[in-house]
């Protein structure tokens, strides 16, 4: 079975969201992102020289890195036509658009700096000042649709939903955007996502990883 190297509550949780919604089975290899230690032994550096997740190990032993790529692979394996978006589908490039928006504008563009311990608060605040323009773009887009591609929850939504798991801890305030707030509540209320978030909170404490401190 394909293995996801997963640090609880980090971006690899988006891959678990996608797998759950798409009905794609994954073996989960837990790790502590702070120490880079794999629960089964060894280090994350053994599977990704950058020491980062997401990492997906396919059945032939090859590996995929980068959360956006992992999400697109997972959705391509789904047998759920309401979740999978095939390349010939007119929405496919919208899927790519929003998956990459989450990767570059939200995940790396915002989280990468505000969660970086060595960054000063002044630098973090300057990065937080970039958020409103991105939130307004999402606010306008979601004014006429419940999810990023319309009525269906896709891999792009799995990425955006994960952003909201940690956005409060990053002190990114999106409360002034009603469509975005409604989306956040809608996405995080999905039973599969809610269950995975709660189980990851437990595992985060068990590993003493402290992605979300008490």
Residues 3-82+193-206, CATH architecture = 3-Layer(aba) Sandwich (3.40)
Least confident of 9-18, 30-39, 109-118, 167-176: 109-118
Confidence of residue 34 (pLDDT cuts 50, 70, 90): very high
Could you tell me the sign of the dihedral formed by the alpha carbons of 101, 103, 109, 110, in that order?
positive
Strand 27-32 and strand 3-6: the pairing is: parallel
Residue given tokens 């809610």 in the structure block: 194
Distance CA(199)–CA(108), nearest Å, equals 25
Instruction: Locate 169 and state its tokens.
Output: 């801890």
> Is-same-fold flag (3-82+193-206; 92-190)?
no
Q: What is the DSSP letter of 166?
A: H
Distance CA(66)–CA(132), nearest Å, equals 25
Which percentage of the chain shows pLDDT scores above 70? Answer: 99
Distance CA(47)–CA(6), nearest Å, equals 12
Distance CA(141)–CA(182), nearest Å, equals 13
What pLDDT does 117 receive? 83
Average pLDDT, the chain: 96
The domain segmentation of the chain, as residue ranges, is: 3-82+193-206, 92-190
Q: Looking at the domain that runs over 92-190, which CATH code has it been given?
A: 1.20.1050.10
What is the value of pTM for the model shown? 0.96
What pLDDT does 81 receive? 96
**Which is nearest to 116 in space by CA: 170, 176, 160?**
170
């Amino acid at each position: 079975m394909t293995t996801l190297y997963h640090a609880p509550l980090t971006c690899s949780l988006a891959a678990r969201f996608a797998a759950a919604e798409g009905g794609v089975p994954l073996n989960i290899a837990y790790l502590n992102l702070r120490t880079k230690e794999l629960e089964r032994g060894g280090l994350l550096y053994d599977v990704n020289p950058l020491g980062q997740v997401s990492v997906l190990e396919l059945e032939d032993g090859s590996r995929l890195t980068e959360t956006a790529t992992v999400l697109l692979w997972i959705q391509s394996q789904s047998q759920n036509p309401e979740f999978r978006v095939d390349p010939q589908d007119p929405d496919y490039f919208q899927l790519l658009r929003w998956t990459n928006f989450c990767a570059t504008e939200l995940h790396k563009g915002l989280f990468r700096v505000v969660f970086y311990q060595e960054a000063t608060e002044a630098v973090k605040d300057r990065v937080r000042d970039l958020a409103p323009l991105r939130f307004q773009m999402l606010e306008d887009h979601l004014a006429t649709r419940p999810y990023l591609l319309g009525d269906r929850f896709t891999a792009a939504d799995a990425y955006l939903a994960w952003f909201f798991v940690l956005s409060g801890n990053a002190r990114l305030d999106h409360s002034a955007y009603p469509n975005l707030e409604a989306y956040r509540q809608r996405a995080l209320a999905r039973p599969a996502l809610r269950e995975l978030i709660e189980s990851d909170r437990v595992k985060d404490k068990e590993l003493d990883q402290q992605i979300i401190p008490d």
